[in-house]
Structure 1
Amino acid sequence: MYSNTSTVLLYKRLLFVLLASGFIGWLFDIFWPAIAISSIALLIWHYHHLVQLAHWLWQSKSINPPHASGTWGRIYDGLFHVLNKQRKKQKQLRHRIRQFRDGAEALPDAAVVLSDDFIIEWSNKKAQNLLGIVCPGDVGQRIDNLIRNPEFTRVLYQQAFEAPFHIDSPLKEDTTLELRIMTYGVDQYLLVARDVSKLNRLETMRRDFVANVSHELKTPLTVMRGYIEMIQAPGNNFDEHWLTVFATIEGQVTRMDRLVEQLLILSKVENNATYDETYRVNLSDLVTNIVKECHWLNQDKQHKITSDIAPDIYISGIETELKSACTNLISNAIAYTPAQGDIQVSLEQVKQSMGMGVKFTVKDNGSGIKPEHVNRITERFYRIDKSRSRNTGGSGLGLSIVKHVLQHHNAELVINSQWGVGSEFSIIFSSTSVIQ
Structure 2
Amino acid sequence: MNHNWQSSVLKRLAAVLGLSFAFGIIFDQVTIFLLLACAFYLAWTLRQLFMLGSWLENSSSLSDPQEPPTSRGSWGDIFDSIYRLMRKQEKLRDRLQAVIDRIQQSTSALQDAVVMTNRHSLIEWWNPAAEHILGLRSPDDHGQLITNLIRHPRFVSYFEQKSYQDPLDMPSPVSEQRTLLCSITLYGPDNRLILFRDNTRIHHLEQMSKDFVANVSHELRTPLTVITGYLETLAHSVEIMPQPPVPVLPKAVGQMQSQSHRMSNIIDDLLTLSKLETADSQQDIQPVSLPLLINTIVEDAKSLSGNKNHKIIFNCAHEDQILGNKKELRSAISNLIFNAVKYTPEGGNISIRWTVSLNTGYLTVKDDGIGIDPQHIPRLTERFYRVDKSRHASTGGTGLGLAIVKHVLLRHDATLLIKSRPGRGSSFTCQFPHSRLVKKAA
User: Structure 2 counterpart of 1:317, which letter?
Assistant: G
- Which amino acid is 1:12 matched to? K
Q: Aligned equivalents of 2:403 and 2:9: distance in 1? A: 83
- What does residue range 254-269 of structure 1 map to in structure 2 within 5 Å? 254-269=261-276
Instruction: Flag the 1:264–1:221 CA change in 2: closer, same or farther, 3 A.
Output: same
- For residues 262 and 113 of structure 2, the distance between their equivalents in structure 1, rounded to whole angstroms, comes to 47
Residue segments in structure 1 that go unaligned for 5+ positions in a row = none
2:13 aligns with 14
Matches within 5 A, 1:40-55: 40-55=39-54
* Greater mean deviation of Cα atoms: 371-380 or 131-140: 131-140
Matched, 1:149 2:152: yes
1:242 paired residue number: 249
Q: CA deviation at 1:215?
A: 0.7
RMSD: 2.4
Which residue number in structure 2 is paired with residue 306 of structure 1?
Answer: 313
Question: For residues 430 and 91 of structure 1, do their structure 2 counterparts lie closer, same or farther at Cα, with a shift above 3 Å needed?
Answer: same
Sequence identity of aligned pairs in percent?
Answer: 39
Shift of 1:99: 3.6
Deviates more, 1:19-28 or 1:65-74: 19-28
CA distance in 1, matches of 2:318, 2:9: 90
Q: Is the counterpart of residue 113 in structure 1 residue 116 in structure 2?
A: yes
Aligned to 2:427: 424
CA shift, 1:388, in A, is: 1.4
One-letter amino acid matched to 1:322: L
Give me the whole-angstrom Cα distance separating, in 1, the residues matched to 2:297 and 2:209. Answer: 31
What's the CA shift for 1:192?
Answer: 2.2
Deviation of residue 329 (structure 1)? 0.9
How high is the TM-score relative to the length of structure 2? 0.90
Unaligned runs of 5+ in 2: none
Matches of 2:257 and 2:346, distance apart in 1: 24
The 3 A distance-change label for structure 1 pair 366 and 160 is: closer
Equivalent residue for 2:329? 322
Task: Output the amino acid matched with 1:125.
Answer: P
* Structure 1 letter corresponding to 2:101: R
Structure 1 counterpart of 2:200? 197
Structure 1 residue matching 2:379: 3-state secondary structure: coil
Deviation per CA, 1:67-110, whole angstroms, max 9, x where unpaired? 22212111111211221232233223223323432343344432
1:42 maps to a residue whose letter is Y
Corresponding residue pairs, total: 431
Work out which of the residue numbers 402, 413, 416 in structure 2 matches 1:413.
416
Contact 2:5/2:74 (8 A) holds in 1:
no
Q: CA deviation at 1:54?
A: 2.5
Aligned amino acid, residue 56 of structure 2: L
* Structure 1 CA distance for aligned equivalents of residues 373 and 160 of structure 2: 42
Counterpart residue type for residue 297 of structure 1: L
Equivalent position to 1:164, from 163, 167, 186? 167
Partner amino acid, structure 1, of 2:55? W
Amino acid across the alignment from 1:329: L
Displacement after TM superposition at 1:336 (Å): 1.5
Partner of 2:58: 59
For 1:123, the equivalent position in structure 2 comes to 126
1:41 is displaced (CA, Å) by 3.6
Distance 1:27 1:306, change over 3 A: closer
Residue 423 (structure 1) shift:
1.4
User: After the TM superposition, which of the residue ranges 92-101 and 196-205 deviates more from structure 2?
Assistant: 92-101
Relative to 1, partners in 2 of residues 1:228 and 1:365: Cα closer, same or farther, differing over 3 Å?
same
Show the counterpart of 1:349: 355
Relative to structure 1, the CA distance from residue 113 to residue 8 in structure 2 (aligned partners, 3 Å threshold; closer, same or farther) is same
Query: What is the Cα deviation at residue 34 of structure 1?
Result: 4.3
Give the 5 Å matches for 1:398-409.
Answer: 398-409=401-412
Q: Give, in angstroms, the shift of residue 369 of structure 1.
A: 0.7
Contact 1:5 1:74 in 2 (8 A): no
Give the Cα separation in 1 of the matches to 2:85 and 2:318. 76
User: Quick one: which amino acid aligns to residue 57 of structure 1?
Assistant: L
Q: 1:92 to 1:137 in 2, by over 3 A?
A: farther
Note the alpha carbon deviations across 1:128-169, whole angstroms, 9 max, x for none: 122222455532221122223333334455667564334322
User: CA–CA distance in 1 between the matches of 2:394 and 2:57?
Assistant: 87
Q: Determine if contact 2:323/2:438 at 8 Å carries over to the other structure.
A: yes
TM-score by length of 1: 0.91
Question: Per the alignment, in what secondary structure is the counterpart of residue 142 of structure 2?
Answer: coil
What amino acid is aligned across from residue 121 of structure 2 in structure 1? F
Q: 2:235 aligned to 232, 235, 244, which one?
A: 232
**Residue 227 (structure 1) shift:** 1.0
Alpha carbons 1:122, 1:136 under 8 Å: kept: no
| SS state at 2:103 partner | helix
